[in-house]
Structure 1
Amino acid sequence: MAQWILAALLMASSSVSAQTSDEPPTSWIDPDTGHRVVRLTREPGSASLYFNQNGYTADGKHLVYTTPNGISVLNLETHQAREVVQGRARLIDAGRKTPRIYYTRGDAVFSTDVDTGETHRIAALPPRGSIATVNADETLLAGTYIEGKGQDYNNRRPRPSRSGEQAPAAQQSHSLDQPRNKGQMMEERWAARLPMGLFTVNIETGDINTIHRSNDWLNHLLFSPTDPTLLMFCHEGPWHKVDRIWTIRTDGTQITKVHTRTMAMEIFGHEFWGADGKTIWYDLQTPRGEDFWLAAYNVDTGERTWYHLQRDEWSIHFNVSRDGTLICGDGGDPGQVARARDGQWIYLFRPELIDNRGVQDKDFVQPGVLRAERLVNMSRHEYRLEPNVSFTPDQKWVVFRSNMFGETYVFAVEVAKAADSLE
């Protein structure tokens, strides 16, 4: 990627001037932050993955992303892209062990080798089922299904209303946008208490095994990136009404609650694994919309660390670099829970622990703070599309999706300032 930057600097003026009036620039230095931003994708409507999905191939060389026409991979060094899956598909994850990507199409789940194009149909999905995650050694997939015909979130599988008409569709202008009536739909889906099953799929045999049943809304499944038998999931719904974050073993045992509320209106969510596969990170607010933390929980030791941040620095999603030394966030507009007045930025955070010079107790939360640096001015971005930040495997770039130029594309901002990266 460094070679590309040097070339881009020499060509910047000509490349920007060569842009057509309706095509976004391919590279620029943000005048408010001094950081270089590049547009990685050329296809309008292209998008990087949700923040907690693995969007990088096992060798760390390619970004996996979606387009209106299928699934593509982009070489992070040369920025050359190629399509690997043609046609409508829902991308799940890139494998952490092999060069395969996993996705669903219709009522089945597939994998494709991004190097050879070889494709394998793994299994048919259960009725009303979906797949969310792939485990560390690529032996299992995990997903959920709804039992019966109850109306799901976003009016999927809607049932007729009393008048005989279908329920109104979600107020959503783009497939990646959050619906305007999301809050209402979350409340209704949570209150429905639909019976659900959490299941695994054996990637080699296609065998399906239901490991947990519940009337809680099971969602946000995510395997540990290092422990192939450890699965995180959530009880979805309005955050102030649920005990959200849980783990379970793939044999259905050791169901463990990760966080226990200690005050009214305390909320926590948007959980994700650190690269060590032992740390669960999550947004914590004590109480909702007033005091903001990025919390970490070690599943082996039970140790907890809470990093404090300011209202304007709160982000819809956070992510952590592979070595755990850097954190990124995608900010938020005034309509988000933090009600930030100046929060529309892509952020870089450096975590600092507070030195404990007092009572030592292993049950105490270890406090810290996040020192923020702004990377990209997102004032032109419409936040109904969540940017979903992630670090590249070399930790030198933060990747995000944005509609700042109208259409959605995938962008990356350099962690180092532009002048520093050339020294």
Structure 2
Amino acid sequence: MKTDCYLLVLASLLLNFGSHAQTKLATGSQKPMPAAEWIDADTGHKIVRLTTLDGANESFYFHNNPFVKSLGSEGDKMVYYHTSPAGKQLYSFNLKTRQSEPLTRAFPKVHGEIVAKKRREVFYQVGDTVYATHIDNKKTRLVYVFPADFKADITTLNADETQLGGAWGSDAEKEIYRQFPAKHDFFTRIYEAKLPRTLFMVSADGKSQLTKLFTDNAWLNHVQFSPTDANCLMFCHEGPWEKVDRIWTIDTKTKAVKLIHKRTLDREIAGHEWFGADGKTIWFDHQKPRGETFAVTGTNLKTGTEKTYALKRDEWSVHYTSSAHQKTFAGDGGYPTSVAKSAEGHWIYLFTPDGDHFNAEKLANLKVHDYKLEPNVHFSPDGKWLIFRANFEGQAQVYAVEIAKSAS
């Protein structure tokens, strides 16, 4: 009798869970949404809220890998940031069990967000000190302390996970940031100042080894190592995109610097660059000219040949990304005041190449989302979901939208 009652209760719970999962709702129509899963009424795709901790929860920047593979059958893990009144700290999230665990204590300020897939560590920086915490056993080690005459920030890890990379800025540049903290105030000022910046590496093994790679009187930024070539470091010349040839690489052994894309017409822009998973292509947002035509272009690093996929104005996204096999792409949409000036660009998009253009599919409606928080899409390790951050429930949370359309 007890067994029968238990089975009835279990069946009821499963039925209720299933009904929640199949409920069609306008995303962001309620704050909070009445369930952790729903079908986006405008797209027919399932959305799942992954994070449940009180406070803000944010997934990583679009080109920073947040995942480590499953050990056995335990489930792949994703690292993310949690912010509470105590401060900001790193957590891991098991994509199979949907359980979160703290990796670090809370800090007033912390940045870095670099996941080492082989080491199974997350690197981060607190003040002038770089740490690494193991994602499974939570052990933390000291990696590097920047000297008084070279205060810099790490942003990337090379393919063999031996070197961290980043860019150093001068005290004069830091003073501009201090006086003008808003991006619209400091951006042009720093670009026009032409202050020195230096690309560097530090040992990921804790050997206190600093290597200065390249210095220029330009705003060197957006530093990313290739995912496959341990000696290939990409960086950009930051500033108004229509005024800079932005995308460059440097060979960390030979110090050879190479321009990846040369602009060919007035107000052409190329930016928000990222490596394809195989390391053979650098992809970027491409407009010829700015705000009039929209595309994603990839430059083959070996041959220099380029492949361009055109987009419609409404499909322009703040950031794009590519799947592991690079047969599909994704974008996080945009807002009416962004470069595309589209009132209908507020979607999480899946893009499929078709000749010289993308075919776009809308996966999630972000009309209620405030794009001051950039969604920054990531393909899940199994390729079945797009993971993003959004604030349509009132505060930042991490969500996943299923790429396959719901059957209901």
Name 1:66's counterpart in structure 2: 81
Cα distance in 1, alignment partners of residues 324 and 126 from structure 2? 31
- Whichever residue aligns with residue 133 of structure 1, its letter is T
Q: Indicate conservation of the 8 Å contact 2:247/2:261, yes or no.
A: yes
- Shift of residue 277, structure 1, vs aligned partner: 1.0
- Shift of residue 186, structure 1, vs aligned partner: 1.2
Name 2:172's counterpart in structure 1: 150
- Whichever residue aligns with residue 311 of structure 1, its letter is R
Cα distance in 1, alignment partners of residues 80 and 315 from structure 2? 27
Name 2:389's counterpart in structure 1: 401
Q: Indicate conservation of the 8 Å contact 1:224/1:231, yes or no.
A: yes
Query: Do residues 370 (structure 1) and 358 (structure 2) align?
Result: yes
Cα distance in 1, alignment partners of residues 172 and 20 from structure 2? 57
Name 1:282's counterpart in structure 2: 284
Cα distance in 2, alignment partners of residues 125 and 262 from structure 1? 40
Cα distance in 2, alignment partners of residues 328 and 344 from structure 1? 13
Q: Which residue of 383, 405, 408 maps to 1:417?
A: 405
- Shift of residue 224, structure 1, vs aligned partner: 0.6
Cα distance in 2, alignment partners of residues 57 and 207 from structure 1? 26
Stretch moving more, 91-100 or 53-62: 53-62
Cα distance change of structure 1 residues 29 and 234 upon mapping to structure 2, 3 Å threshold: same
TM-score (norm 2): 0.88
Q: Indicate conservation of the 8 Å contact 1:58/1:97, yes or no.
A: no
List 4+ stretches of structure 1 deviating above 3 A: 7-10, 12-16, 21-25
Q: Indicate conservation of the 8 Å contact 1:329/1:389, yes or no.
A: yes
Cα distance in 2, alignment partners of residues 239 and 123 from structure 1? 33
- Shift of residue 206, structure 1, vs aligned partner: 2.4
Q: Which residue of 159, 169, 185 maps to 1:136?
A: 159
- Shift of residue 14, structure 1, vs aligned partner: 5.9
Q: Secondary structure at the match of 1:142?
A: strand
**Cα deviation code 1:148-199 (max 9, x no counterpart):** x21348x53x3xxxxxxxx3542xxxxxxxxxxx334211110111111110
Cα distance in 1, alignment partners of residues 99 and 155 from structure 2? 28
Q: Indicate conservation of the 8 Å contact 2:165/2:200, yes or no.
A: yes
Q: Which residue of 93, 105, 113 maps to 2:114?
A: 93
- Shift of residue 8, structure 1, vs aligned partner: 7.7
Cα distance change of structure 1 residues 80 and 8 upon mapping to structure 2, 3 Å threshold: farther
Q: Which residue of 134, 143, 168 maps to 1:122?
A: 143
Cα distance in 2, alignment partners of residues 61 and 385 from structure 1? 26
Q: Secondary structure at the match of 2:396?
A: strand
Cα distance in 1, alignment partners of residues 396 and 296 from structure 2? 28
Runs of at least 5 residues in structure 2 that lack an aligned partner in the other structure: 1-12, 24-29
**Cα deviation code 1:374-420 (max 9, x no counterpart):** 00000000111110011011110000000111100000100001118
Q: Indicate conservation of the 8 Å contact 2:31/2:392, yes or no.
A: no
Query: 5 Å matches for 1:168-187?
Result: 168-170=180-182, 182-187=183-188
Q: Secondary structure at the match of 2:137?
A: coil
Name 2:198's counterpart in structure 1: 197
Cα distance in 2, alignment partners of residues 270 and 297 from structure 1? 14
Q: Indicate conservation of the 8 Å contact 1:346/1:378, yes or no.
A: yes
**Cα deviation code 1:340-363 (max 9, x no counterpart):** 12110000010122xxxxxxxxxx
Cα distance in 1, alignment partners of residues 332 and 312 from structure 2? 14
- Whichever residue aligns with residue 296 of structure 2, its letter is L
**Cα deviation code 1:192-250 (max 9, x no counterpart):** 11111110011121200101011110100011111111110001111011110000111
Q: Indicate conservation of the 8 Å contact 1:92/1:132, yes or no.
A: yes
Cα distance change of structure 1 residues 346 and 297 upon mapping to structure 2, 3 Å threshold: same
Cα distance in 1, alignment partners of residues 117 and 305 from structure 2? 27
Cα distance in 2, alignment partners of residues 265 and 27 from structure 1? 43
Cα distance in 1, alignment partners of residues 323 and 106 from structure 2? 32
- Whichever residue aligns with residue 74 of structure 1, its letter is F
What percent of counterpart residues are identical? 41
Cα distance change of structure 1 residues 9 and 250 upon mapping to structure 2, 3 Å threshold: farther
Cα distance in 2, alignment partners of residues 124 and 241 from structure 1? 36
TM-score (norm 1): 0.85
Cα distance change of structure 1 residues 168 and 297 upon mapping to structure 2, 3 Å threshold: closer
Name 1:340's counterpart in structure 2: 342
**Cα deviation code 1:239-286 (max 9, x no counterpart):** 011110000111352211000011000001000011001110000000
Name 2:102's counterpart in structure 1: 83
Q: Indicate conservation of the 8 Å contact 2:313/2:342, yes or no.
A: yes
Cα distance in 1, alignment partners of residues 308 and 185 from structure 2? 30
Q: Secondary structure at the match of 1:225?
A: coil
- Whichever residue aligns with residue 196 of structure 1, its letter is R
Runs of at least 5 residues in structure 1 that lack an aligned partner in the other structure: 1-6, 159-166, 171-181, 354-367
Q: Indicate conservation of the 8 Å contact 2:316/2:333, yes or no.
A: yes
- Whichever residue aligns with residue 326 of structure 2, its letter is G
Query: 5 Å matches for 1:1-40?
Result: 11-13=17-19, 23-24=32-33, 25-40=35-50
Name 1:360's counterpart in structure 2: none
Q: Secondary structure at the match of 1:312?
A: helix
- Whichever residue aligns with residue 98 of structure 1, its letter is R
Cα distance in 2, alignment partners of residues 201 and 130 from structure 1? 10
Q: Secondary structure at the match of 2:223?
A: strand
Q: Secondary structure at the match of 1:277?
A: coil
Cα distance in 1, alignment partners of residues 14 and 116 from structure 2? 31
Q: Secondary structure at the match of 1:407?
A: coil
Name 1:163's counterpart in structure 2: none
